[in-house]
Structure 1
Amino acid sequence: MPYYSEDVVEEVRSRTDIVDVISKYVNLQKKGSQYFGLCPFHNEKTGSFSVSPQKQMYYCFGCGAGGNVFSFLMNYENMTFKEAVEELAGQCGVTLPQREMTYQERQHADKRSRLFEINKEAAAYYYKLLRSPAGEQAMAYFTKRGLSQETLHKFGLGCTSKYSDSLYKYLREKGYDDNILKDCGLITIDEKRGGHDKFWNRAMFPIFDANGKVVAFGGRVMGDGEPKYLNSPETEIFNKSRTLFGLYFARKTRREQFILCEGYMDVISLHQAGFDNAVASLGTALTEGHAGMLKRYVKDVYLSYDSDGAGQKAALRAIPILKRAGISCRIINMTPYKDPDEFIKALGAEEYEKRILNAENSFMYQIRMLQNNYDMTDPEKKSDFQKKAAEMIVLEFPTQLERENYTDAVAATFNIPKGALAKYIIELGASGITAKPENQGFEGRAKTHKAKDDGMKFSQRLLITWLVEDPSIFPKIQPFVGPDDFEDGVYKKVAEEVFKNCEDNKSVDTARVVDMFMDEEERKTVAALFNTTVGELTDNADLSKALKETLLRIKKNSLALLKANNADFARFKQTNDSLKKLERTNISL
């Protein structure tokens, strides 16, 4: 059951615009009455994620994720329903009443709270250990890396013991039992060894969420052990793909952009040098989730990845992810040094600031990296490079203005005859090559009905969506189909709500219906029930035919189920008579 009353939840939902909330995470573009973008819940290159202001719902035609504004925060931010309501209430100015939680809610909240407590205790333990005789080796490492005591304190840096069970014993003394410790990401419990630490003999970097709570750790081994860097596993409070190291500090910056790095020390060195806008992904490639987090705070990101081959590949992977999120991207050139940490130590903050001012346009960087793959002294290879550059311009930019501007820039920068480049671009356009779908503006509504999808369920979903979007058809279908003709469970419950609203001449509050279901899969099903389309039919005759065929499929299925379940004769006869009447009736729209 929800923590707050339905009236309170409804007030928060009605005062919240789902488009405003989701646009903080997803780059949305309006098409018709809806907004489309790239789904944040699965990797895709074309926009199948839709947000409807009218329904106050989102739905992905690709993976099926869907729900209302509470569902979105629950899935994206890993919030409970209660936490999502409270988050949005604070944003829209609703004062929430105080009341007791249910037993289940209290259990879940208590577990999350205890996991946060354990991470906080561990951070304090590691912090104190670094400043004791047991932390001499780690302190020497941090000092050698040029970190001040102020920086060590700001980032809460610490270290572990050389023994593999010191944190476990410490946390047990604090009163935490194995049942909760096994889920915190810091302790391993097994039958042979008992409890032991995941991190030992390492310099430790606490990882904070955007609100400043410790959710995980990164550890750098002291000596020659492997792996060199180790991160906490994902837990109930830590999602690696949506957490950025340094974000808690960077979100307070007055600079207009973030600097995206690869490692902990790069972020820490930049902050110490005055660049308080530096963040890093956590030992993993940049994800759509990371990009969504960045978009909440800035529109511009400067990549400051390693200047070696691996760093260049990482930058080339990150650029399209950032672009798809609606983030403008530039590349900071750090040569001849490998990373920001080395650069700052060698040349200082002032020179790094100059590199920021001269950061390279991300598309020009992609072309420059492309050029490295060709022998420019060979006329044939040079021609191949120039053709590939032209193709990239056509595929990347949909408008004539953008193509002309980038043609000028590429020709001037890479010594390509402008006239020849422009002519080849025109030829490519004439041959049918166009900009990538994600750069053309987002696709329209996709068909939900897939070949593997169950035809009967599709018909039932279609009728529900049709009723919600066009209640005027209700009097035409009411004599033939009712909620009892729908599949038991979610379908039938939603149908009851929709038919009741139609009978009362009320519009269906689809976002409210979603909150009748707490299970995530059930919410997805509800979202699909409200987002199924008949296709591109516009002619009334075709629509009338499609509607009647939909009703007939639903009614025939209902009759077949009654027969299979040996329903009483009266009900069977009533359904059969209704079907025959429907077959004789001409339904027109």
Structure 2
Amino acid sequence: MPYYDNDTIEEVRSRNDIVDVISQYVHLQKKGSSYFGLCPFHSEKTGSFSVTPSKQMYYCFGCGAGGNVFTFLMEYENFTFSEAMEALADRAGIELPKQEMTSEARREADKRNILFEINKEAAKYFYSLLRSEKGKLAYQYFTKRELSPETMQKFGLGYSDKYSNDLYQYLRKKGYTDEVLKDSGLVTIDEARGAHDKFWNRAMFPIMDANNKVVAFGGRVMGDGEPKYLNSPETMIFNKSRTLYGLQLARRTKKDQFILCEGYMDVIALHQAGFDNAIASLGTALTSGHANMIKRYGKDVYLSYDSDGAGTKAALRAIPILKEAGITCKVINMKPHKDPDEFIKALGAEEYQHRIDEAENSFLFTIRILERDYDMSDPESKSAFYYEVAKRILEFPEELERNNYIEAIASRYQVGFDNMRQMVNHLGTKGGIISEREPQRLKSGVQKKKTREDGMMQSQRLLLTWLVERPQIYAAIRDYIEPADFTEGIYETVARELFTQFAEGGELNPARIVSLFSDEESQRQVAEIFNTNVQGMETDADWEKAIRETLVRIKQNSMEQRRRNLDPTDMNGLKQIIDDKRRLQEMEKLHISFK
């Protein structure tokens, strides 16, 4: 990864106002000194996502996502830090310095580039074989599947020769070594069989990343061989759980949603029929990595999985993963046909569009499938079904949303709105999710199980937030507290940088502190530190009392930790503890001016 010095990072960050950048992704409205909108990182109806210009930071009070402008692009676009730097530098018209890589980083980058080259060469070779006499059988296969020459070209379809070392020999002649070919996933080299191809005598489907680079292949056997479908193994450039077939084309769609399928041919058939928003996971169940890739380019997905039992199970697994990523999901009814390819051939594009228009809400789909497990003619089983439905409705955080689903269920099953709502409220009260005095209020945002927060961590967070929001208090407390007194996790590093900014006398820059940390979790924690709130302080006297008490708690904790770790023979350490006790007495009488 390229290395950038702190001054270069800060120049790029400061030239990209966080409100301007995030406004390209999230609709923001100004409220007071901050901007608010719906969080792009979790599903919510009430905007708890805040962007604060003075701090150049964002923070979601619902799910805890937060950071600076780099963090946002890393989370939203799934960028590495280097990719975020390059994107923001380009946006601001800044030319980044050429980076000297370490020898290890250069070797890795070179190897990745070579693997991309090998996959590109293989794709070109397979493409040419399909259109030669050798590929006649595979070409007939694609033609029987009613694919046009234009569609075959668009997806780069090809053929791997019937000889099991044909591609190996071709790539060796191109100058690639056995060592790198082994790492490409296209060739296996062992003592028993020597070098042989991963794919041979198969109709070939190049798999591309979102940037249109060939990263892997899928192959459908010609004849009776096994397995029928085969995918490349994972390599340095291919991660199955983050790669979606057809995404390089679908990301350019003008449509408002993606159609998520199960197989190559479903995607290809839909694109040929005019549905250029079709994508598929690669023979694996949908993962959170897939969902996050989709979220980079859109927020709505229509599931077009097979209509059989396996397809239904796959849909039920996919729905919560998509929901967790903040993606709205509906389910397309394929019946009486098995999959989109078969459906399009039998009923055509117009009828498929009709099925899209009538796609079923994903929650109602899960309830309809759930109903199959219950005997609705038996009162006890029927009651158990409604009980399970009520439990699932409780998962929605907003009262209005819960009422809408209660109304939909009541209408579909003729159970009565009041009866269903009463059951939901009863279960919510019983489980501690809904208060008896406030029967319909839930916390907006992601529902997380949280342990009771450590009081000292809260105190240290509060003081750091207050120092940024009320910088005038620094002059009053600087003689009594130091960064080492912030003992929790990364707090000492944050405090040290903040105190340095105060000492240098320049403008406070919380967003720069975020950039000191390379991992997203630490950046999120820093954002949380600078967005800690406490209620009930209206006057300067209230603020002074709260700050003084917080300061004393932090100092007492620091002194206690030092005392426990003190060597009895350390005279300087003993003297410091005595000095700390004197300071503590002074702190308890400290006056803090807000003028």
Give the TM-score range, shorter chain: 0.7 to 0.9
Q: Which residue of 2 aligns with 1:424?
A: 420
The Cα shift of 1:341 comes to 0.7
Equivalents in 2 of 1:176, 1:58: separation in Å?
48
Q: Which residue of 1 aligns with 2:255?
A: 255
Choose 337-346 or 314-323, whichever is displaced more: 314-323
Q: Is the 8 A contact 1:273 1:344 kept in 2?
A: yes
Equivalents in 2 of 1:183, 1:31: separation in Å?
54
CA spacing shift, 1:447–1:572, aligned 2, 3 Å: farther
Q: Which residue of 2 aligns with 1:211?
A: 211
The Cα shift of 1:367 comes to 2.8
CA spacing shift, 1:23–1:447, aligned 2, 3 Å: farther
Q: Which residue of 2 aligns with 1:312?
A: 312
CA spacing shift, 1:70–1:184, aligned 2, 3 Å: farther
Q: Which residue of 2 aligns with 1:579?
A: 580
Structure 2 counterpart SS, 1:270 = helix
CA spacing shift, 1:295–1:80, aligned 2, 3 Å: closer
Q: Is the 8 A contact 2:41 2:76 kept in 1?
A: no
Deviation digits for residues 290-339 of structure 1 (CA, Å, limit 9, x no counterpart): 33333333343221111111211222232333334443322211111110
The Cα shift of 1:466 comes to 5.7
Structure 1 residues not aligned, in runs of 5+: none
Give RMSD over aligned pairs. Answer: 4.6
Q: Which residue of 1 aligns with 2:186?
A: 186
**Counterpart of 1:202 in structure 2: which amino acid?**
R
Q: Is the 8 A contact 1:461 1:528 kept in 2?
A: no
The Cα shift of 1:124 comes to 1.4
Q: Are 1:531 and 2:528 counterparts?
A: yes
CA spacing shift, 1:381–1:286, aligned 2, 3 Å: same
CA spacing shift, 1:530–1:413, aligned 2, 3 Å: closer
The Cα shift of 1:583 comes to 3.2
CA spacing shift, 1:472–1:111, aligned 2, 3 Å: farther
**Counterpart of 1:239 in structure 2: which amino acid?**
N
Equivalents in 1 of 2:294, 2:215: separation in Å?
18
Q: Which residue of 1 aligns with 2:557?
A: 553
Equivalents in 2 of 1:168, 1:65: separation in Å?
47
Identity of aligned residues (%): 54
Structure 2 counterpart SS, 1:274 = coil
Q: Is the 8 A contact 2:425 2:440 kept in 1?
A: no
Equivalents in 2 of 1:470, 1:484: separation in Å?
21
Q: Is the 8 A contact 1:329 1:361 kept in 2?
A: yes
- Matched ranges for 1:387-426 at <5 A: 387-393=387-393, 395-396=395-396, 398-400=398-400, 402=401, 405-414=404-413, 416-417=414-415, 420-426=416-422
CA spacing shift, 1:354–1:77, aligned 2, 3 Å: closer
Q: Are 1:158 and 2:162 counterparts?
A: no
CA spacing shift, 1:325–1:83, aligned 2, 3 Å: closer
Q: Which residue of 2 aligns with 1:365?
A: 365
Equivalents in 1 of 2:183, 2:262: separation in Å?
27
Structure 2 counterpart SS, 1:142 = helix
- TM-score in terms of structure 1 length: 0.79
**Counterpart of 2:93 in structure 1: which amino acid?**
V
- Matched ranges for 1:330-479 at <5 A: 330-393=330-393, 395-396=395-396, 398-400=398-400, 402=401, 405-414=404-413, 416-417=414-415, 420-429=416-425, 432-433=428-429, 441-442=444-445, 467-468=467-468, 470-479=470-479
Q: Which residue of 2 aligns with 1:141?
A: 141
Structure 2 counterpart SS, 1:531 = helix
CA spacing shift, 1:460–1:350, aligned 2, 3 Å: closer
CA spacing shift, 1:348–1:63, aligned 2, 3 Å: closer
Q: Is the 8 A contact 2:78 2:296 kept in 1?
A: no
**Counterpart of 2:579 in structure 1: which amino acid?**
S
The Cα shift of 1:266 comes to 0.5
Equivalents in 2 of 1:25, 1:162: separation in Å?
49
Q: Which residue of 2 aligns with 1:96?
A: 95
- Matched ranges for 1:67-106 at <5 A: 68-71=68-71, 73=73, 79-90=79-90, 92-97=91-96, 99=98, 101-103=100-102, 106=106
**Counterpart of 1:580 in structure 2: which amino acid?**
K
Equivalents in 2 of 1:122, 1:209: separation in Å?
16
Equivalents in 2 of 1:445, 1:171: separation in Å?
52
CA spacing shift, 1:275–1:177, aligned 2, 3 Å: same
Q: Which residue of 1 aligns with 2:499?
A: 499
Equivalents in 1 of 2:282, 2:480: separation in Å?
58
The Cα shift of 1:362 comes to 2.6
**Counterpart of 2:587 in structure 1: which amino acid?**
N
Structure 2 residues not aligned, in runs of 5+: none
- TM-score in terms of structure 2 length: 0.79
CA spacing shift, 1:31–1:554, aligned 2, 3 Å: farther
Q: Is the 8 A contact 2:157 2:204 kept in 1?
A: yes
- Matched ranges for 1:30-109 at <5 A: 53=52, 55-56=55-56, 68-71=68-71, 73=73, 79-90=79-90, 92-97=91-96, 99=98, 101-103=100-102, 106-109=106-109
